[in-house]
Amino acid sequence: MNSCLIYIGELYFAISQGKPLKDPTKIAYVEYSGSTLNQQGDVAACLRTPQMNFVEQQLYFPGVTFFQGMCLKDVCSAKALTSIKKEYAELLSLAFKTTITPEQFDFVQYPVEKPSTDNYGFIIISLILAFLLLLTLASFFMTAFKSKSKISNKISQEQYDSNAQSHLINKNQILINKKNEEERLYEKLQDNLEDKRILNQTEKNQEIESKSTLKRIINCWNLKQNLQKTFDVTVRNSDLTAFDCIRTLSFMQVVLGHCFLINLSYYSNFNDFDIVQKEPFTLFILGCFYSVDVFFMLGGFFLAYVVADPKVSQNFQVKNFLKMLLSYFLAVVNRLSRILPTYFIAIYIIWQYLSQIGQSPTWSQVELFSGVCDEDKWKKILFIDNLYDQPINCVVWTWYLSNDMQMFVFSLILMVIYANNKIIGKIFIYVALGVFIGLAIHYAYEYEILIVSQLSAMLNPHWNDFYFKPWCRIPPYLLGLLFGVFYKEYQIEKQQDNSSKKSSLLMKISHYMRETFVKWISYSLGLAIILYLIFGPRPLQMNGIDYWNQNVQHFIYGISRILYSFGIILVLLPSVCGSKDLIVKTMSSSIFQFASKLTFQGYLYHYAILTYSLWTFYDSMYLDIQNIFSLYVSQVPIILLISFIFYVLIELPLNNTANIIFSRNIKKKQIEKEEINKQNHQGIN
């Protein structure tokens, strides 16, 4: 008979009968194993004990996995236990007093072997990161050489000028009686000095003009310049600085919501969960998931803000059809160039590196977390993973980017219509907004999604069919699109002659916003909508899902996301209309302008950081609001630090490169060139 089965049988019988244990290996099991689910016991002491090994037991129940560490005699390795799963299932059934099947549990040996690095994915991301590091070093040495060359040239020029002056003095002393000849020599020498200065300036201008694209691209990785850009919080439009506050706070909300959900995977106080669920602050945590809709709204706003500009919209005129198609294509490619490279790198880092940099009894969860990208990564990179019926697994939180890209492509069509006819364009946006709001309400009814909390909605079997689908999530994006169109029209009208008739919607609203009372109504109403959507379900939380009519819940859930976005717009409205009150000044703080730059990298990596942190713990967490918030406060600085590193070393250099490729700075360079030529002309005259 299997020696492991005999050992397990004797161990279970002795413990169930309460008999004293004399075998040191059985005593070690009692002392060093986890005493209940989601407990590991003393892993280090177990591994120090002769003849013992540590095995992680994983139990699968609907919607949740439980873990328990077992310190067993070395004949009972994970492989040996797997060979007796049928018999072991009978023992588990006796222990849990319910039927446990062999499919409901597994064993993992600890410590486990690291995943292999001998694969194309690991090699690809390693080469990419090595290449980016090489560019950073090349930029450093190129800048250092250029600075040294400038210093050398400056010293040479000073020596030349000094020698020239000395030469003039000597000439004056030697040829003091030859005044006319001395004056001619002096004038000639001065002319030579001026010619030399003009020649140097001309060579400098030629150097600027002939600077190669390769050098400009390498200079995109200039660490000093990128650090200066990162900390530079100069703004072009002070009316929009409050958006950085909203972006930053929404990102912080996303992190808080994910911190709570991730830690639900490994906590110890199962019996207290109903108590935790009914805490008021739990509603705030679950309400954090509305923050994604704020990102959608902001995406639509800035798309309209850019395309509705007359200088840009003229590229989308249908009268020049080929130019319109090319402009549309380039706009999509430009958008991809801002997102895809850093997104690609993030996926590959999480896929290949995350599982290599830690160890714990539950580390197999990290390997599973990163390993699901083996098959699904191409769906992510093509921004189509949210369109499949299967659940999203590979870097699951980035479903937002797929939706955002799909919404961008669709909304850009609406903006092309607007560029050709403003009235018809607005009508199309209104119609699209109404249609997709109707679809969201329809699917909320069809899938019977309730609003008691986001957590209960996630347990709905049709969660994937609603939450991840662009046709259910696009209304906030279209609302932002309308907001951006109105703001651009308002901005254009402000720049026109004051005698012209003021007719844009925001221009009319801005007149009312001059009254303090109206501004406070906007702030208060926006905040009231936001708080109601978060804390309004409190009666349902306390009294159960049947406390409100379920049809009413379906309807509210269907419109809740666009309502939340509308509340955010009301909060932003005074700032957009030019108010400089205390709230606007606070929201326009430079700390938000700096932090908002890190939000994209933070969004890409925060979930992986939280997951890594969870599964490196040897003991499960006692789940309550205080512990969740304490963990959140400790992890946010780490997330921001890693975001800062990736922003400076990867995102910003790649964006600099995209600017060169798409020639967004041609006009700026042309102005600089004209200014240099103007200075040269003045110098010659």
Return d(Cα 319, Cα 324) in angstroms, integer.
8
> DSSP letters of 636-656?
HHHHHHHHHHHIIIIIHHHHH
Residue positions counted in the chain: 685
Is residue 209 over pLDDT 90? Answer: no
User: How confident is the model over 345-362, as a mean pLDDT?
Assistant: 90
Residue 453: its pLDDT value, please? 53
Taking only the tens place, the pLDDT of each residue in 405-456 is 999 999 999 999 999 999 999 999 999 999 999 999 999 999 888 876 555 5
User: How confident is the model over 280-286, as a mean pLDDT?
Assistant: 88
Residue 116: left if φ>0, alpha if ψ -120 to 50, beta else—which one? beta
Tokens of 402: 């797929």
Tokens of 624: 């309550």
Residue 611: its pLDDT value, please? 94
For residue 594, how many other CB atoms are within 10 A of its CB? 16
More confident position, 4 or 146: 4
Residues pairing with 142 in the sheet: none
Query: Which residue has 């600890």 as its token pair?
Result: 110
Tokens of 440: 């969201």
| Highest mean pLDDT (candidates 18-22, 166-170, 200-204, 287-291) | 287-291
Mean of the per-residue pLDDT values for the chain?
84
Residue 371: its pLDDT value, please? 86
Is residue 176 over pLDDT 60? Answer: no
Percentage of the chain beyond pLDDT 90 is 42
Is residue 669 over pLDDT 60? Answer: no
> DSSP letters of 602-635?
HHHHHHHHHHHHHHH-SS-B--SHHHHHHHHHHH
Helix axes 291-307, 242-263, angle to 10 degrees: 150
Helix (H, G, I), strand (E, B) or coil at 468: coil
> DSSP letters of 78-99?
HHHHHTTHHHHHHHHHHHHTS-
The residue among 377, 397, 343 whose CA lies nearest residue 121 is: 377
How many helices, marked H, and strands, marked E, lie in the chain?
Answer: 33, 3
Q: Are 526 and 571 in contact (CB under 8 A)?
A: yes
More confident position, 680 or 614: 614
Q: pTM here?
A: 0.85
Residue 51: left if φ>0, alpha if ψ -120 to 50, beta else—which one? left
Which helix (DSSP H) or strand (DSSP E) does residue 545 occupy?
none
Tokens of 513: 């916003």
Q: Which residues contact residue 591 at a Cβ distance below 8 angstroms, ignoring those fewer than 6 apart?
A: none
* DSSP code, position 115: P
Residue 555: its pLDDT value, please? 92
Which of 16-30, 321-335, 419-433 is the least confident region?
16-30
